[in-house]
Structure 1
Amino acid sequence: MPLFILVAIILVSSFLLLRLYKKNPQHENLPKGSLGYPLIGETFSFLQAQKKDQGPEWINDRVKKHGPVFKTSLMGAPTVVIVGQSGNKFILGSEEDVLIAKQPKTLSTIAGKYNIFELTGVRYQLIKGALSTFMKPISLKTNIKQIDELITSLFLKSTSKTDIIPTVNFMKHLTFNIASSVLFGIQNEILISELNKDFAIAFKAVWSLPLNILGMAYWHGMRARSRIIDRLIPVIRKKREDLREGRVNAESDILSSLIDVKMRNEDVINEEMIVDNFVTLMIASHDTSAILLSLMVWKMSKVPEIHQNIFEEQMEIQKEIKGREDQNLTWGDIQKMKYTWRVAQELMRIIPPVFGSFRKVVKDTSFDGFNIPKGWQVFWCAYNTHMDNDIFVNPKEFDPSRFETNGSKPIPPYAYIPFGGGQHSCIGNEFARVETLITIHKLVTMYKWSLVYPDEVITRQPMPYPSMGLPIKVTSRSVTTEID
């Protein structure tokens, strides 16, 4: 598109938007702040701050200037950012006639318009039921052996020809394989590999400007989504045939469950909803877990005391396993990994995998004395309550003990939100816990390691990752060996 035409479109659009803006009486008492440049808003500066892992500073600069409720424009839409516990409760706890989980255009088009985060009513209940069945402890218990064996196999395969594990890429590969095989029942390794490549491209487009222009991240993401769909449709048709012929049942995997729901509710569920929620759950189930696992390795490498404590806890469990006929981990073993999970919880407090997220205003509303017009976005941010002195004692200090059951200070609702909150909170938090704990158990009991780049820092891409991929040099460990 010629530059002068693009400029003309922006100017005309800005003029029309300004006229509409002035006509709406709800715009008379908006929060303070700036909508930035036409169409682009403040998206560039927000994404640049995220890339440098300075998202909290970006938010705090505006909070200091405008207060805990301020306006901006992000991802192509006017946005009200609200920080604090009461703000989290308002955004995450509001009814669907006030706020809905309408994501920015980039996320809703990559994930699909029927993704679970944006569904409401009967459709939401049916899809959530199909998905959450496989995320409950009763289902997870039956999958632990498969997850255990898959993780062990991936570690052994990765270290068979080299002593360097590129942690970030390995954890993404691991969590994607677990999601594909355990959650969705996809066993074809070539198909899993091709899907993994396209999901990596699609995910980069989620936090980008919604400009479908040749070469831009969004353009690449949309094409990756098309390839994902092309590969998925034959899988769906084969599973539908298997369901009808009785070769599988609805409890076999999530895809089978979604297809079964569609077959029983043809009037409200269509194939597009199956595709969209496959894409959505695949993004949600593997990338956030890969982040947490990478950060766990990074933290253990940086703080020997944490590594030692985790190692001792896992070795006690390993000793019990060695005395059993079946040497795989069990549900009971995982429940004993209390300290390891507290470290994970504290990591998610200080470095939330999801910085924040959006809701869409479906009718004119207000918060803290300010008007928020229909059609605008609201944005919640985890960091502000996670680092609030009134909620967490010495919040900058890394202290896993604050998550002990008998902790000295209980955590109030909507203050600790790594998995969101309200009715649209993450349904996969228990699956993430199991996946994380099994992986860390295998790593610390099978290997010693050291950082290739000891001074590696965290950056957001847009999720928080070690900036150089966190390569580690590993050596096999005997189960009787102690940490040096």
Structure 2
Amino acid sequence: MGFSALVASALCTFLLPLLLFLAAVKLWDLYCVSSRDPNCPLPLPPGTMGLPFFGETLQMVLQRRKFLEMKRRKYGFIYKTHLFGRPTVRVMGAENVRHILLGEHRLVSVQWPASVRTILGSGCLSNLHNGQHKHRKKVIMQAFSRDALQHYVPVIQEEPRQASPDGEQQLVEAFEEMIRNLFSLPIDVPFSGLYRGLRARNIIHAKIEENIRAKMARKEPEGGYKDALQLLMEYTQGNGEQLNMQELKESATELLFGGHETTASAATSLIAFLGLHHDVLQKVRKELQVKGLLCSPNQEKQLDMEVLEQLKYTGCVIKETLRLSPPVPGGFRIALKTLELNGYQIPKGWNVIYSICDTHDVADLFTNKDEFNPDRFMSPSPEDSSRFSFIPFGGGLRSCVGKEFAKVLLKIFTVELARSCDWQLLNGPPTMKTGPIVYPVDNLPTKFIGFSGQI
């Protein structure tokens, strides 16, 4: 074979596929950008759309924080990308996020990625809209009223003192598998993320159905109070609706995800920050001592809602933890019409992700942002400027239904931790990862030792 033939063969083998690939990427970019609204004079936000079909999903899933930090440095507070099969604009900053969160049902509507909708189901609160969402939220909120929270306090107080029974290990593993695959490409084939997530979800649904049928047989709730699942069951029966087992299972699964994973993430971050800042832990203990919560077991004041509300500094420690390490990094919306935001257009039908973690990072309200300083929350700040600078529970009509429950749980956890033990982080300051909830890469190996009670 002559030299020219070898060159031609090499071109066909290597160069032609490369050119075709580059052409496909360019056509993909043009296709994505072609959905720009021609009736709006504003440009699309800066950014890139990634690979054909896959967009930048794989890069985001694999790199997470590194990917998002690179995008923010390069493109600023608003940029376009293509994630989970949809053209997407990612938004951060208090003023930008304010427009999104207060535009629910008018400018935007909630729409999680297809994999989330498929795994959690259409019957859960986060996938409902308008009147359905309003009524369902009203029912669930009864489970998180102040009276209900008072009933939960002694139950929560026992949790840090106990470990999960061995019989629940399969359920825990299934739950973790579901969470790992919640955000995945919408491809339901064997061994795909969506396939594994659905298989794990089915194990969880089977266990929840057992509990629902047990509640139906028991009639009266245990302990004299009604949990969210009991209230939903009564709501469907009271309105003459047929009890929809699938919707109840989906609602319960969503509450487990929203309540368990997020508070577990925040509790882990609390251990990390207090382990790294012993001076803050000592101030927490000082507050507990003043309130009569750091005495011998026979002299300790009983925990209740009134006592918990008096722990102002402990509450600030939790706020600072949620500022630096919010468990949920952001939320998903879809543009109901073309939006104009900070000099850019967001076309109708595009997904919008508002970022909680980045909004905290860039907030002008906070000085020395990287410093763990709970005292910053001790003095009140102007409501208008702080409202959307600190949004660990989201905001607007879609703010977290269980946020008051989470605050109570984390306060009790902090109290029990501070008055029962000291601890040391064996690997030092952890590196945090998002998947989709924030957690330490090394799972935070920690050595706990009994606390003497001396300050």
CA contact (8 A) 1:76 1:209 kept: yes
TM-score (norm 1): 0.80
- Does the aligned pair in 2 maintain the 1:402–1:408 contact within 8 Å? no
Matched residue pairs, number?
432
Change (3 A) 1:362 1:406: closer
- Structure 1 residue 339: deviation in Å? 1.3
Counterpart mapping for 1:333-482 below 5 A? 333-388=307-362, 390-406=364-380, 411-479=385-453, 481-482=454-455
Q: Per the alignment, do residues 223 and 381 of structure 1 end up closer, same or farther by CA in structure 2, a change over 3 Å counting?
A: same
Measured after TM superposition, the shift of residue 435 of structure 1 is 0.7
Matching residue's letter, 2:69: E
* Partner Cα separation in structure 2 for residue 410 and residue 25 of structure 1: 32
Aligned-partner Cα distance in 2 for 1:406–1:456 = 30
- Does the 8 Å CA contact 2:104/2:397 hold for their aligned counterparts? no
Whether the aligned pair in 1 keeps the contact of 2:101 and 2:396 (CA below 8 Å) is: yes
Q: Secondary structure at 2:187's aligned position in 1? A: coil
Question: Which 5+ residue runs of structure 1 have no aligned equivalent?
Answer: 1-10, 159-172, 174-188
| Pair 238,306 (structure 1): closer, same or farther in 2 beyond 3 Å | same
Assess if the C-alpha contact under 8 Å between 2:32 and 2:49 holds in 1: no
CA distance in 1, matches of 2:271, 2:135: 37
Corresponding residue for residue 54 of structure 2:
40
Runs of 4+ more than 6 Å apart = 11-21, 247-250, 323-326
Q: Which residue, out of 96, 107, 131, partners 2:116? A: 107
* Aligned CA distance change for structure 1 residues 392 and 193 (closer, same or farther; 3 Å): same
> What one-letter code is carried by the residue in structure 1 that aligns with 2:55?
G
> In structure 2, what is the equivalent of residue 61 of structure 1?
73
The 8 Å contact of residues 126 and 261 in structure 1, kept in 2 or not, is answered as no
8 Å Cα contact 2:328/2:437 also seen in 1: yes
Give the match for residue 164 of structure 1: none
What TM-score does the superposition give when structure 2 sets the normalisation length? 0.85
**Partner in structure 1 of residue 9 of structure 2:** none
How far does residue 268 in structure 1 lie from its aligned partner after superposition? 9.1
CA distance in 1, matches of 2:48, 2:39: 13
Aligned partners of 2:272 and 2:429 also within 8 Å: no
2:115, 2:194 within 8 Å by CA — same for their partners in 1? yes
Q: Which residue of 2 aligns with 1:71?
A: 80
Counterpart residue identity of residue 231, structure 1: K
Further displaced range: 141-150 or 232-241: 232-241
* Distance (whole Å) between structure 2 residues aligned to residue 16 and residue 37 of structure 1: 7
- 2:189 corresponds, among 186, 206, 213, to 213
Among 24, 49, 63, the residue aligned to 2:63 = 49
Looking at structure 2, the residues matched to 299 and 62 of structure 1 have their Cα atoms a distance apart, in angstroms, of 30
Identity %: 25
* Mapping for residues 85-484 of structure 1, pairs under 5 Å: 85-152=94-161, 154=162, 192-243=168-219, 251-267=225-241, 270-319=244-293, 328-388=302-362, 390-406=364-380, 411-479=385-453, 481-482=454-455
**AA in 1 matched with 2:56:** E
Which position in structure 2 is the counterpart of 1:4?
none
What corresponds to 1:165 in structure 2? none
Query: Could you tell me how far apart the structure 2 residues matched to 1:386 and 1:201 are?
Result: 29
CA deviation map 1:170-189 (0-9, x unaligned): xxx6xxxxxxxxxxxxxxx6
Q: Could you tell me how far 1:202 is from its partner in structure 2?
A: 0.5
Residues 35-58 of structure 1 deviation map (CA, whole Å, 9 limit, x = unaligned): 1111211112222332xx435513
Q: How far off is 1:204 after superposition?
A: 0.5
Structure 1 position 75, deviation (Å): 1.6
Q: Contact 1:420–1:426 at 8 Å: present in 2 too?
A: yes
Cα 1:239/1:332, change in 2 over 3 Å: same
Letter in 2 for 1:49: Q
8 Å contact 1:201–1:220 — kept in the other structure? yes
